[in-house]
């Protein structure tokens, strides 16, 4: 008992001594060379990332990246660093690289925070610091603090950045010296290092816990570890000298800093960039922050030389199916989307007029051969995701089509609405129809013969030819020329009749007579106006010329990871699948298992579909969360069906399984209740099962001893569609209400699924 009191006293002394111990570190710029511990690398836009390197003198060098932004310095000159200052890019040290996964540690401590707001016995799973880092609700911590929308992850990262952070299976080992229990494993996007991890040589740290520069924070502060200390109300930390204090400090100590870690998906379209290197001795090579759109001031209008060769600047923006990426010999929608390369036709301020560098797809100009204009053709609706009311064929492209397949919701918002002028055919006077307002459209005959866009006034020229992607070719685009990948592509102008539309032929000739609107071998080469000053993720792509020469900047990363759960959806690890394997250099076998015209004037004729972005349904198996009701769902099929997966709050007393639910802009029919869906819900008293539910998993309500009221609205349940022991262990005096016509049939299988004879059915 005396020994415990001594340790308790020491613990309090540590907390008292800490106040005011925040000396400022100095930074020098130098270059350190060393030998690599391991060889993991990842490439993005010409950059390579390496695992930490240690030279013969023991100096460690870490590669660094910029990702996210946070309040860090006094930018407004008022003498204090607070949220009145501008956020600055967060610099991270690369602790390991495994394929597209980079394990990152903040280069600096990013603020001070209690491990837990109140003094009590706590674990990482239930502390307030975990909830603050990940933006979790009140139910995820012992103090009942709600950090939804106000935590670190929401302040530091955009939605696109959040979707690029892997959900990580965080193992919480016991204290290796004192044996204090670490608690349950958790699933988090942002967390802290453990004692084992901060003593792992593979990450650049020595095996012992003694003083070392490798563990010192750049701003010379103590910083929390997630591992427990000696007592249940203490947590381990790293001192200013880099010592690992396994004895720990009281959890509500308010002078210890936060130095987050996370796993970043390098292949995501998240806008990360390399930041240079840092060394354990303070050496640093600093690279400027690479921000999306940084080349805006350097983008040029097309230039045509004396020989008639035109050079266009190019950008990458959006993603689409283009080539055979999975090696099955065919380019189709089973392949990964690739960044779309666009030619810059004009630059005026922040408005950049873009034309796809290649033909991207094959579509009919109109689904029927009747007379049509650009305003009423199905092509316009397909390009923009318009509904059936926007075209004469009554084709509904809401939620699908090029606009929805090629761009994220954020990207869509940065495509300008253009006033599209639809002039008559310049030779045959066929009527062009009303002007329209569109985000994506096709060039007109006048535009494809406009010298300011890099085209000749003549009908034929190399500059008008377009290569065709393997995807478009496989869909039936007719190609020719040398090499035989040039395709014919549609213009929006009418041909010599109202049921013809202009085209550009494989040799670059503008065919003003045109082609039948139901011609099925003509390609689509979209055009759009981009707000290039926006944070839309576009990047510079080099140049191309009409003579075939090009200087190409490597492609940015491909399709964003849409299925990674967001921070606010992270419950304990048992409820969600992991998404990444354990890195080979993990300190123990489970520590890091890791579970997306130059001036534009909007016109009144634009359908509402282009104003409201359409969201593509996540793939089957994706976990979605209903934040309002704290319930997890699992996508069953992409045709908008979903299953009730887990009750996020096991303390809930009343839960409704709805007939339908809208998550992430998608409306789903709720058709299933998963196995063990209500596991641990020992306070649950009433449940309603929606009318669209066709199956209930095994042990779905197993052990819900206080469950006294069940209302089943579904008429679609069968004996075989309800799992074993689904209702076993509910309250003995429960009342189950079922549809009247199904009462007799339901009574039979409900008894077989564990319902006691004392339970009443109505």
pLDDT tens-digit map of 309-333: 888 989 889 999 999 888 888 899 9
Residue 291 reports pLDDT greater than 70 = no
CA atoms within 13 A on the CB side of 338: 18
Contacts of 593 (CB under 8 A, 6+ apart): 168, 169, 171, 578, 580, 581, 582
Residue 752 reports pLDDT greater than 50 = yes
Question: What is the C-alpha to C-alpha distance for residues 521 and 519, in angstroms, rounded to an integer?
Answer: 6
Provide the pLDDT for residue 328.
87
CA atoms within 13 A on the CB side of 500: 15
The arithmetic mean of pLDDT across residues 113-125, rounded, is 94
**Dihedral sign for Cα atoms in the order 40, 44, 46, 47:** negative
Residue 413 DSSP SS3 = helix
What residues are paired with 509 via a beta bridge? 460
Residue 274 reports pLDDT greater than 80 = yes
Per-residue tokens: 681: 């819900």
Residue 587 reports pLDDT greater than 80 = no
Residue from 490, 510, 468, 456 nearest 308 by CA: 456
Query: Which segment of 5-9, 439-443, 472-476, 740-744 scores lowest on mean pLDDT?
Result: 5-9
Question: What is the C-alpha to C-alpha distance for residues 252 and 196, in angstroms, rounded to an integer?
Answer: 23
Residue 505 reports pLDDT greater than 70 = yes
Residue 259 reports pLDDT greater than 90 = yes
Mean residue pLDDT across the chain = 80
Kindly report the length of the chain.
Answer: 762
Query: Which segment of 59-68, 184-193, 263-272 scores lowest on mean pLDDT?
Result: 263-272
H/E run at residue 750: helix 743-752
Which residue's entry shows tokens 């415990």? 4
* 8 Å CB contact between 593 and 581: yes
pLDDT band, very low/low/confident/very high, at 247 (cuts 50, 70, 90): very high
Provide the pLDDT for residue 589.
27
Residue 521 DSSP SS3 = coil
What torsion do the CA atoms of 546, 441, 598, 424 make, to the nearest 10 degrees? 90
CA atoms within 13 A on the CB side of 248: 31
pLDDT band, very low/low/confident/very high, at 550 (cuts 50, 70, 90): low
Question: What is the C-alpha to C-alpha distance for residues 143 and 622, in angstroms, rounded to an integer?
Answer: 30
Write the pLDDT tens digit of every residue in 453-480. Answer: 998 877 667 888 898 999 999 998 888 7
Residue 128 reports pLDDT greater than 90 = yes
Per-residue tokens: 473: 């070719």
Q: What backbone phi and psi angles, to 5 degrees, belong to 72?
A: -140, -35
The arithmetic mean of pLDDT across residues 651-675, rounded, is 87
Question: What is the C-alpha to C-alpha distance for residues 561 and 265, in angstroms, rounded to an integer?
Answer: 8
- Alpha-helical (H) ranges within 19-113 are none
* 8 Å CB contact between 292 and 537: yes
Provide the pLDDT for residue 472.
92
Provide the pLDDT for residue 761.
84
Question: What is the C-alpha to C-alpha distance for residues 271 and 162, in angstroms, rounded to an integer?
Answer: 11
Residue 552 reports pLDDT greater than 60 = no
Write the pLDDT tens digit of every residue in 603-622. Answer: 333 333 333 334 455 767 67
Residue 595 reports pLDDT greater than 70 = no
Residue 335 DSSP SS3 = coil
* 8 Å CB contact between 742 and 716: no
The arithmetic mean of pLDDT across residues 180-186, rounded, is 93
The arithmetic mean of pLDDT across residues 442-447, rounded, is 94
Burial label for 474, CB within 10 Å (0-12, 13-18, 19+), is: middle
Burial label for 565, CB within 10 Å (0-12, 13-18, 19+), is: buried
Residue 7 reports pLDDT greater than 70 = no
* 8 Å CB contact between 683 and 708: no
DSSP labels, 344-401 = EEEEETTEEEEEESEE-EE--S-SSSS---TTT-HHHHHHHT--GGGSTT----TT-S
DSSP 553: P
Residues 604, 605, 610: CA angle, nearest 5 degrees = 100
- Taking the chain, what is the end-to-end CA distance rounded to the nearest angstrom? 60
Burial label for 746, CB within 10 Å (0-12, 13-18, 19+), is: buried
The arithmetic mean of pLDDT across residues 48-75, rounded, is 88
Provide the pLDDT for residue 577.
29
* 8 Å CB contact between 502 and 445: yes
């Amino acid at each position: 008992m005396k020994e415990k009191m001594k340790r308790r006293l020491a613990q309090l002394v540590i907390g008292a001594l800490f106040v005011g111990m925040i000396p400022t570190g100095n930074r020098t710029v130098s270059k350190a060379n060393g030998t690599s511990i391991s060889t993991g690398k990842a490439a993005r836009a010409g950059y390579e990332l390496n695992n930490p390197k240690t030279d013969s003198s023991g100096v460690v060098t870490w590669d660094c990246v910029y990702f996210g932004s946070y309040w860090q310095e006094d930018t407004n000159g008022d003498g204090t660093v607070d949220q009145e200052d501008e956020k600055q890019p967060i610099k991270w040290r690369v602790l390991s690289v495994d394929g597209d996964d980079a394990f990152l540690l903040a280069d600096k401590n990013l603020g001070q925070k209690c491990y837990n707001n109140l003094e009590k016995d706590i674990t990482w799973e239930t502390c307030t610091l975990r909830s603050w880092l990940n933006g979790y609700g009140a139910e995820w911590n012992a103090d009942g603090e709600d950090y939804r929308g106000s935590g670190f992850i929401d302040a530091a990262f955009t939605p696109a950045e959040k979707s690029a952070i892997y959900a990580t299976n965080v193992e919480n080992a016991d204290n290796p010296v004192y044996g204090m229990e670490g608690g349950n494993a958790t699933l988090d996007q942002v967390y802290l290092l453990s004692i084992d991890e901060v003593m792992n040589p593979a990450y650049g740290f020595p095996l012992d816990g003694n003083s070392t520069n490798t563990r010192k924070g750049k701003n010379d502060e103590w910083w929390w570890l997630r591992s427990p200390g000696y007592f249940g109300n203490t947590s381990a930390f790293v001192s200013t000298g880099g010592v690992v204090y396994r004895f720990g400090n009281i959890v509500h100590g308010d002078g210890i800093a936060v130095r987050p870690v996370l796993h970043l998906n390098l292949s995501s379209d998240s806008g990360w960039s390399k930041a240079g290197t840092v060394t354990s001795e303070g050496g640093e090579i600093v690279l400027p922050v690479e921000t999306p759109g940084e080349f805006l001031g350097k983008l040029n209008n097309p230039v045509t030389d004396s020989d008639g060769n035109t050079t266009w600047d190019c950008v990458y923006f959006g993603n689409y199916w283009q080539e055979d990426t999975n090696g099955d010999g065919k380019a189709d929608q089973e392949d990964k989307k690739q960044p779309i390369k666009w030619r810059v036709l004009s630059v005026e301020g922040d408005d950049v007029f873009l034309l796809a560098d290649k033909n991207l797809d094959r579509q009919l100009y109109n689904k029927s051969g009747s007379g049509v204009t650009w305003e009423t053709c199905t092509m316009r609706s397909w390009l923009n995701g318009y509904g059936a009311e926007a075209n004469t064929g009554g084709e509904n492209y809401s939620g699908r089509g090029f606009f929805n397949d090629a761009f994220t919701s954020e990207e869509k918002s940065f495509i300008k609405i253009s006033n599209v002028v639809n002039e008559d055919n310049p030779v045959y006077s066929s009527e062009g129809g009303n002007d329209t307002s569109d985000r994506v459209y096709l060039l007109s005959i006048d535009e494809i013969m406009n010298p300011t866009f890099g085209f000749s006034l003549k009908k034929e020229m190399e500059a008008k030819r377009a290569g065709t992607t393997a995807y478009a070719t496989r869909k039936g685009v007719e190609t020719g020329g040398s090499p035989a990948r040039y395709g014919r592509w549609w213009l929006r102008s009418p041909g010599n009749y109202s049921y013809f539309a202009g085209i550009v032929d494989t040799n670059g000739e503008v065919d003003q007579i045109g082609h039948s609107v139901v011609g099925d071998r003509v390609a689509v080469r979209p055009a759009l106006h981009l707000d290039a000053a926006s944070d839309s993720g576009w990047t510079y792509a080099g140049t191309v010329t009409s003579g075939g020469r090009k200087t190409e900047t490597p492609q940015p990363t491909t399709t964003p990871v849409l299925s990674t759960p967001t921070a606010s959806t992270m419950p304990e690890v048992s409820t969600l699948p992991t998404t990444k394997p354990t890195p080979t250099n993990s300190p123990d076998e489970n520590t890091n298992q890791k579970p997306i015209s130059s001036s534009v004037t909007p016109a009144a004729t634009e359908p509402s579909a282009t104003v409201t972005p359409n969201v593509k349904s996540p793939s089957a198996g994706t976990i979605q969360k209903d934040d309002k009701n704290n319930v997890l769902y699992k996508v069953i099929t992409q045709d908008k069906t979903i299953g009730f997966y887990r009750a996020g709050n096991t303390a809930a007393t009343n839960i409704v399984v709805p007939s339908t639910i809208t998550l992430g802009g998608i409306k789903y029919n709720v058709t299933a209740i998963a196995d063990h869906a209500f596991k641990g819900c020992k306070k649950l008293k009433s449940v309603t099962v929606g009318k669209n539910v066709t199956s209930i998993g095994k042990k779905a309500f197993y052990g819900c001893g206080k469950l006294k009221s069940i209302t089943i609205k579904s008429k679609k349940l069968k004996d075989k569609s309800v799992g074993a022991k689904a209702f076993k262990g509910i309250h003995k005096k429960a009342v189950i209400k079922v549809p009247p016509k199904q009462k007799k049939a339901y009574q039979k299988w409900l008894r077989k699924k564990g319902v006691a004879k004392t339970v009443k059915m109505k």
